[in-house]
Amino acid sequence: MQISVPILAFAKSKSSVTLHGGTDASFAPPIDYMVEFLNGIVFPEIRTFSGYYPQGGGTVVVDVDPICGKLSPVCLTEMGSIVKVTGSTFVAGKVPIKVADEMRSVGLETLRSHFPDVPIEVESFRAPDNSRHGSVSSFLYVVEETSTGCRLAVSGLGQPRGPPVRQLVKEAIEQELIPCIKSGVCCDTHMQDQLILPMALAQGKSVIRTTTPLTLHTQSAIYVAEKILPSVRLAYSIRLNGHLHLTHTDIFFR
């Protein structure tokens, strides 16, 4: 999806891509993350039928309208101050709702300890049977807004033989989300690689401040961008503060 959709944006007419498989799995952002962050921005419209680990069986339909003119560059260099934090926890299938409620409680407690003066809203719910396949417990916490318009997130998936959900939520917030915020980056590690191809296709220089070192997914995205855009030379170097600059000739950290 990340490769095909930006390219289809340059097609002469509307396109639709239907993908099948798992939508919520370990070591990857859940489909809700993609919808929350990219729907209407990189992807004009995303419709989902969730398929959870380990069963899979999900369906994602992405409709892509051709762009008018050229893609505008992205400039995200100042994180600003946090204005609002939102989140959701849910269960599906055979997992009891009390698991989602516990994830919500732990998430609120942990977030409030770090952001006592910031509005925080977290909901817990059971996913309807007609919108999913499989059993799962999951959470997604989003720094919904900063004073400069940046957004960061952390997510996780409960495992039958994994750590307790209380530990899972607390560690995700304190070991992933909080370090991102303290470092002043403008996009999290999941979003980092999602932006490479759209940035490479944009007219002009795009600038994002992100984490260092580059994730392996981001390095792969750079490799793919070089292959499908032979006129674009991508190179990067890592310097202080973790700024990622992308132009049609260079990627480098400042």
- The residues carrying an active-site annotation are 217
DSSP code per residue over the chain: -TTHHHHHTTSSS-EEEEEEE-SB-TTS--HHHHHHHHBTTTBSEEEEEEEBTTT--EEEEEEEPPPSS-PPP-EE-----EEEEEEEEEEETTS-HHHHHHHHHHHHHHHHHH-TTS-EEEEEEEPPGGGEES-EEEEEEEEEEETTS--EEEEEE--TTS--HHHHHHHHIIIIIHHHHHHT-SS-HHHHHHTHHHHHHSSS-EEEE--SSPPHHHHHHHHHHHHH-TT--------GGGEEEE-SS-EEE-
Q: How far is it, in rounded angstroms, from Cα 206 to Cα 247?
A: 6
Place of tokens 């992807």: 43
Q: How far is it, in rounded angstroms, from Cα 233 to Cα 219?
A: 14
Backbone angles phi, psi at 15, to 5 degrees: -120, 160
Q: How many CB atoms lie within 10 A of CB 107?
A: 27
